[in-house]
Amino acid sequence: MEILRNVHAKNLVKWAEDKKDAYLLSADLTSSCEAHLFKEAYPERFLSMGIAEQNMLAFAGGMAREGLVPLIHTFAVFIYRRAYDQIAMSVAYPNLPVKMFGFLPGILTPGGATHQAIEDISVMRSLPNMTIIECGDATDVEASLGYAYSIDGPVYVRVLRGEIPRLFSPDDGVDFSKPRKLREGNDFVLLTSGICTEEGMRAAAALEEQGVSISHYHITTLKPFDHPEIVAEIEKSKYGAITMENHSIIGGLGTIIAEQMAEYGCTKKLHRLGLKDTFVHGASQRYLMRKYGLDAIALIAKIEEITKTRFNILEESLRETYTPSLHSDYKPEAL
Partner 1 sequence: MNSNWQEDVKQMASGIRLRVLKHTIDSNGGYLSQACSSAELFSVLYKRILKLDKLEKPLLPEKFQGVPNSERKAVTGINFNGGGKQENDNFILSPAQYALVLYAALIEAGRMDEKAMEEYNKDGSSVEMIGAEHSPGMEVTTGSLGQGISQAAGIAYARKVRGDSGRVVVFLSDGECQSGEFWEAVQAMSFLKLNNMLMFIDVNGFQCDGETKDVMNIEPFDERIRAFGARVFRINGHDIEKIAELGELPPADVPTFVLCDTNPHKDMEILKERYPKYHYTRFSSDEERERYQEHYDELLEARRG
Contact between 287 and partner 1 by CB under 8 A: the answer reads: yes
E strand intervals along 85-213: 99-103, 131-134, 155-158, 163-165, 180-183, 188-192
In the complex with partner 1, the residue whose CB is nearer, 47 or 306, is: 47
The residue (of 25 and 231) whose beta carbon lies closer to partner 1 is 25
**Three-state SS for 133?**
strand
In the complex, least distance from residue 49 CB atom to partner 1, rounded to whole angstroms: 7
Residue 189 beta carbon to partner 1: minimum distance, rounded to whole angstroms: 32
# residues near partner 1 by CB under 8 A: 39
Q: What are the two backbone dihedrals, phi and then psi, of residue 298, each rounded to the nearest 5 degrees?
A: -65, -40
Give me the sheet containing 180-183, strands edge to edge: 180-183, 214-218, 188-192, 240-248, 270-275
- The amino acid occupying position 317 is S
- CA distance linking residue 120 with residue 198, whole number of Å: 21
H/E stretch holding 217 reads strand 214-218
| Region of residue 51 (left: phi > 0; alpha: psi -120 to 50; beta: else) | beta
x/- mask, partner 1, residues 296-335, rule CB under 8 A, reads ------------------------------xx-x--xxxx
**Residues 103 and 159 sit within 8 Å (Cβ to Cβ):** yes
Residues 77-136 binding partner 1 (CB under 8 A) are 77-78, 81-82, 110-115
What would the x/- binding string for partner 1 be over residues 38 to 57, using CB under 8 A?
Answer: ----------xxxxxxxx--
The span of 209-217, 220-228, 283-291, 298-306 binding partner 1 (CB under 8 A) equals: 283-291
Q: Binding residues for partner 1, per CB under 8 A?
A: 26, 28-32, 48-55, 77-78, 81-82, 110-115, 278-284, 287, 326-327, 329, 332-335
